[in-house]
Structure 1
Amino acid sequence: MKSLAANINSLPLSLDEIKSAIANGQSLANRNLQGIDMSQMDLSQTNLSGAILIGAKSGETNFQGADLREADLRGADLKFANLTDADLRDSYLHRTQLQGCNLSGAQLESAKLQLALYDSLTIWPEGYDYRNSGAVGPYANLGGAFLNTANLRGADLRYANLRGAYLSGADLTGANLQGAALSGANLQGAFLTGAYLYQARLIGAELQAADLRGAYLTEVSWEQLQSIAGADFTGAKGLSELDRVCLCSRPAQELGTWNSFTRSNTARSLGSS
């Protein structure tokens, strides 16, 4: 009988079944809710412990006081969700979108938050050390983090510590990296198209084949760069003449390298930025 119950629980529920269970006060513990769109639903006080919520769409959903212990919320959209006083102990929040989410009073002991995205509107429990949780957002401490090929499009990374971080191939299109510490970071092949890098520190960074088209580059620190071979600066904004002289003084081999993605070489891109 236990095996039969486990098999039943592994079957995905439809949205109508979820609504019926909630209306009847039934538990959704250990149920499969993967990928379900539950946006703006009222799931307050609901037992969702151990539930599979991978990729669920739960923007603006009310989870106030919900039991989400050991729930699998990897890649779920929880933007502007209400998680006040929710129990998220031992939950899986890898790559979960927490922008604008209200987590005040939530229990986050042993929750796995690696690569979860938050922003300045996210409200954390009082005293919770979110900057060192592995989550990605403003002021996050991600020094040396492995973020290769990570999807960080539009991420708010203002003043984040990304020293020595591995960001090769990462998608940082439109990301806000104002004041970010990127010294020694590996940004080879990273997509920084339209990114905002005002006062970012790129001392000793690796920028081979980085896509910086249309990026905002005012007051960036460029000292001791490892390489800019194949980096594309086409349409970059805010480069001072001193910046341009600094970048154009790089070895001819670097400046003559073509970016295989944008089909432009570094020297040409600096001439058009």
Structure 2
Amino acid sequence: MHNERIKSTIDRLSQDNEQIFAALAAGQSGSYADLYQVDLSGRNLPQVDLRQATLIRANLSQTDFAGANFAQADLRGASLDRSKLKDANLTGACLARVDLSGADLTGADLTDAKLQGVRYDRHTTFPDNFNYKSSGAIGPGARLNGAQLNTANLRYIDLQDASLLGAYLGGADLTGANLQGARLSQSDLRRAFLTGVCLRNAGLNAANLAGADLRAADLTDIEFDRLESIAGADFSHVRGLTDEMRSRLLNYPPSELETYNSFTRNTTGASLEI
């Protein structure tokens, strides 16, 4: 009964961020509470109890959650960037599509936590011995072979040296992303937005670039023996494309070179002309 009373108290305050913070900071339990889209950013809430709470799309950026209990909490789409989660309990928590850029998870318990689509960067600190690169999370060095990332919002994501062999990235927005050294062989990049992307030293053998927007991309030292398709791809203003590489691309069949990009309305052949 006591837990149910606390739960009801927090839920009734669910539209008032200040009252929610005050209640939690005073030691009231937020377990089972419905805190959909709550904004607790920049707060200090160490040791807070949010077991099995609903925190979908919550703004928890830059908040101190050291030692907090998020066991089995639903955090889908939440922002936890630059948050302090040292020694936090995240067992069984759903972290799908959560932003953990710059977060400190030193000593956190991530047993059975679901990390598919989590964003991390080179400033994120994971617990020792936690294999985050193979967890389904997205960031530098991630192993995402065959990952289903169609239409994903990956703008400015850091995927340097990531393995994306055979990954499905059709329609994904990778504008300004860092894919330096990434392995993208046999990946599906049809109609992907690759504007300004860094693909230095990336491997693209047998990748499908049909309809991709590669305007102003950095293609320095990319590796490709043969692309599955470039029909409708727009290479306008790309950097690092050697004369030999350009010549190879211009030798693709006219049926591909004469295809218009549905977004830029430019043909592949015209985009490759200097």
Band of TM-score, shorter chain: over 0.9
Contact 1:9/1:30 (<8 A) preserved: no
Q: Which residue of 2 aligns with 1:76?
A: 78
Count of matched residue pairs: 271
Q: Which residue of 1 aligns with 2:266?
A: 264
- Alpha-carbon distance in 2 for matches of 1:79, 1:90: 20
Q: Which residue of 2 aligns with 1:16?
A: 18
Q: Which residue of 2 aligns with 1:247?
A: 249
- Alpha-carbon distance in 2 for matches of 1:260, 1:142: 28
Q: Which residue of 1 aligns with 2:213?
A: 211
Within a 5 Å distance, the mapping from 1:1-273 to structure 2 comes to 12-272=14-274
Contact 2:21/2:40 (<8 A) preserved: no
SS in 2 for 1:106: coil
Normalising to structure 2: TM-score of the pair?
A: 0.95
Contact 1:100/1:122 (<8 A) preserved: yes
- Alpha-carbon distance in 1 for matches of 2:118, 2:162: 14
- How big is each residue's C-alpha offset from its partner over 1:61-103, in whole Å with a ceiling of 9 and x where there is no partner? 1010000001111111111100000000000111100111101
- Alpha-carbon distance in 2 for matches of 1:104, 1:183: 34
Normalising to structure 1: TM-score of the pair?
A: 0.95
Question: Cα offset for 1:16?
Answer: 2.0
- Alpha-carbon distance in 2 for matches of 1:23, 1:153: 35
- Alpha-carbon distance in 2 for matches of 1:190, 1:38: 34
Moved over 2 A (4+): 4-13
SS in 2 for 1:246: helix
- Alpha-carbon distance in 1 for matches of 2:45, 2:208: 46
Q: CA RMSD in A?
A: 1.6
| Residue identity (%) | 48
List gaps (5 residues or longer) in structure 1: none
SS in 1 for 2:247: helix
- Alpha-carbon distance in 2 for matches of 1:20, 1:61: 14
Question: Cα offset for 1:56?
Answer: 1.0
Contact 1:30/1:51 (<8 A) preserved: yes
Contact 1:13/1:31 (<8 A) preserved: no
Q: Which deviates more from structure 2 when the two are superposed, residues 161-170 or residues 34-43?
A: 34-43
- Alpha-carbon distance in 2 for matches of 1:85, 1:186: 39
Amino acid paired to 1:140: A
